[in-house]
Structure 1
Amino acid sequence: MSTPPRPHGLDPLGFIAREGSLAHVPGAFQPVVTAVRERLPDVFGARLDGAYLYGSIPRGTARVGRSDLDLFVVLREEPSDADRALVRALGAALDRDHPEIDGVGPLLYGRGRLLSAPERYDLGWFVACLCTPLLGDDLAALLPRYRPDSLLARETNGDLARLLPRWRERIAAAEDTEAARRPLVRFMSRHLVRTGFTLVMPRWNGWTSDLREMAEVCGAYYPERAAQLRTAAEYGHEPVGDPRVLRAYADDLGPWLAAEYARVHGVKTPRPEDES
C-alpha cells in the first residue's frame, strides 16, 4: 500500500473544520455572488430562510469560465415543484448573465428537513462543514460538530447501490452525443471519487474537498483502483463524452465501490423518498 497524503482539514479538537469563506471568493466571481444575494430575496420573499455557497468559488479555487456556481437555498417550509422551477430559472438567468461561471448547481431544501434527525449526518453536515453562509441565519449553530468517522461516511455516501440503477437509466436515456454525455461523466466522476474518499476517510482521519487529493487518499488504501480513481478525478474537472467511461462507472467501479462501502460502513439509513 502506498502512503496517502498527510491528513488535514480538522480543527485542533479533531472536528472537521468548515471550509470556504466569502473572503476567499475570487474577485472575478464577486459580481455573480452579489447578484445571487440581490435576486434570491426577490424570488422567494419572506419564505427564504437562508442561502449558502459551496464548492470551488468560496474555497477560492474556481477557474473563470470553467467553474460552476454551487448554491444551496433553504426555505422556511418544504419546497414545491414550483419552487424548484423558480430556483432553476434563477440559475439559468445567472449563467446567462455572468460569463465568469459555467452553469449553476442549485440545491433547494426546507429548514425542517435540513435540521431533522435523519439528515443530521448528511444535509446537516453538508451545511455545517461544506457551505459558506450568504443570506440569513447560519443553521450550523443548531447542528453538532462532526468528526470524520464511520457514521458520517455511512450517512453521506452509503447509498451508492441505490443510486446505480438510476444512473444506468440516465445513461440509457441520454442523447447519443459527446456534448450530452459530458455532464453525466463530470457528475458521476465527482460522485464516485467523493464516495471513494469517504470510504477511507475514517482511516485517514482527515477531510479534503480536492478531487485529486481524494483520489490519491483512496488509491493509497486500494491500489488496484488507484488509476481508475485518478482518471475519474481528472474527468471530474475536464469531462469527456466517451460512453465507455459511463459504462465502466455503472458496471465496474460503481458496483465495486458500493459493495465495499456496505462491507466497511453499512448502508445509509433510507429516507422516505427512497421508499416511495
Structure 2
Amino acid sequence: MNTLSTGIDADGFILTVADTPVQREYQPLLADVCASLSTEDLGLDGIYLYGSVARGDATAGASDLDLTLVLREPATADLLARLEAVRCALEQRHPHVTKIDFDIGHRAQVLAAENRNSWGFWLKHQCRCVWGEDLSVRFERFRPSRDIALAVNGDFHAVLSTYLTRIACADTEMQRLRLQREASRKLIRSTHVLRSKEASTWPQTLEEHVAMFVRGYPQRVTHIAFFLFEARNPGATMENFTPRLRAFVDWMASPAATA
C-alpha cells in the first residue's frame, strides 16, 4: 500500500504536513503575513499555515490562504476587529489568493488537555508554524480515530446551518458563490465524522474525503459529487444549492447516517 496517499505512515501514525519549501508565488505573501501580524500590539503567540499552501499544491488564482492564529490571551472584540482589518488589507494586497482565512485560538485553549484531539491534532498534523513558538512540538503524533474526526468536525450542523443563513443573505452573486464553495468544503470534510472504527486511512484532500465517504455510503455518491463540484467550481443557483445542503446536513445528523 502507498502510505503517502492514505495519510498514514508505515507505523500507523497520521502523516504531518510535509516540511517542504513554500511555493515561490506564495513566499512574498507569507512574508507580508508574518510582518503584518507579528506586531506586539496584536498579541500573537504563533502563526500557522494549513491547507493547500501548506501542502505545496496550491494554485494561484484558485486557492485560499488558510491560517491558524494562536494568541497569547483570549481575544477581545477590539482585537478581533483589528485582526479582521489586517486580514482584509492582506487580501487587497495579494489578489492571487481567492480568500484569506483566519482560525483564531489562544495559547491556554490550545494546550488544554481536553482539547488534545482538536487543537493538538490540528497543529500537529494539519499545520506548519511560520512564525512564533511552534506548539505542535508539545504533542505526540496521533493515530487515526473517530474521536479525532468528531473533535475537529463535530460542529458541522451548527456551522453549516450558519452557512445556509449567510448564503440566503448574500449581497452579490460572487459572495453567494464563495459561500457555497466554503460550505461545500466544510461539508465534505465533515463527512469524516462518519468514518468507521475499522477505517485504516486518513484523508487529506477533498477528493480523499469523498472517496472514503463513498466507500461507506455508495448510495449517496451523486449527493457528495454535487458538493465536490461546488467546492471546486461553484455555480449552482441558491434554489438548487440550499435544499441539497440542508437535506445532507440533516441526514448526517440523523440516526440513519450512523446506523
Q: What is the TM-score of this pair, normalised by structure 2?
A: 0.89
1:134-173 map, 5 Å: 134-173=130-169
Structure 1 residue 78: deviation in Å? Answer: 0.7
Cα shift at 1:54: 0.5
CA distance in 2, matches of 1:44, 1:261: 50
2:19 maps to 1:37:
no
Q: Secondary structure at the match of 2:45?
A: strand
Number of residue-to-residue matches in the alignment: 256
2:69 match:
73
Please provide the CA RMSD for this pair. 2.3
Displacement of 1:6 after TM fit?
A: 9.5
Post-superposition CA distance 1:211-231 (Å, at most 9, x none) = 122112211210111122122
Distance 2:252 2:84 in 1: 31
1:187 paired residue number: 182
Percent of pairs with identical residues: 30
CA contact (8 A) 1:70 1:104 kept: yes
- Aligned equivalents of 1:237 and 1:203: distance in 2? 30
Segments of 5+ residues of structure 2 without an aligned counterpart are none
Q: Show the counterpart of 2:9.
A: 11
Structure 1's 143 and 262: CA in aligned 2 closer, same or farther, altered over 3 A?
A: farther
| 1:207 paired to 2:202 | yes
141-150 or 75-84, larger mean C-alpha shift: 141-150
**Is the CA contact (8 Å cut-off) linking 1:158 and 1:262 kept in structure 2?**
no
CA shift digits 1:122-163 (9 cap, x unpaired):
122111110111011211122232221121122222233344
Partner of 1:245: 241
Secondary structure, aligned partner of 2:198? helix
Aligned to 1:114: 110
Q: CA 1:159 to 1:97, structure 2 compared with 1: closer, same or farther past 3 Å? A: closer
Identify the structure with bigger relative contact order (alpha carbons < 8 Å, sequence gap 6+). Answer: 1
CA distance in 1, matches of 2:95, 2:197: 39
SS at match of 1:120: helix
- Give the corresponding residue for 1:274: none
Which residue of 6, 9, 26 corresponds with 2:23? 26
Per-residue deviation, residues 72-101 of structure 1 (Å, max 9, x unmatched): 111111111222222221111111111321
Tell me the distance in 1 between the aligned counterparts of 2:135 and 2:18. Answer: 16
Equivalence for 1:96: 92
Hey, what's the Cα distance between the residues in 2 that align with 1:228 and 1:85? 38
* Secondary structure of 2:254's aligned partner: helix
Preserved contact between residue 148 and residue 205 of structure 1 (Cα < 8 Å): yes
Q: Which deviates more, 89-98 or 154-163?
A: 154-163
CA distance in 1, matches of 2:71, 2:256: 33
* Structure-1 residue corresponding to 2:250: 255
Residue 221, structure 1, aligned to residue 219, structure 2: no
CA positional deviation for 1:7? 6.3
Counterpart-to-counterpart distance in 2, 1:216 and 1:224: 13
Match of 1:84 in 2: 80
Tell me, in whole angstroms, the C-alpha distance in 1 between the residues paired with 2:255 and 2:4: 23
Aligned counterparts of 1:91 and 1:38: Cα–Cα separation in 2: 12
Assess if the C-alpha contact under 8 Å between 1:41 and 1:48 holds in 2: yes
Supply the AA of the counterpart residue of 1:53: L
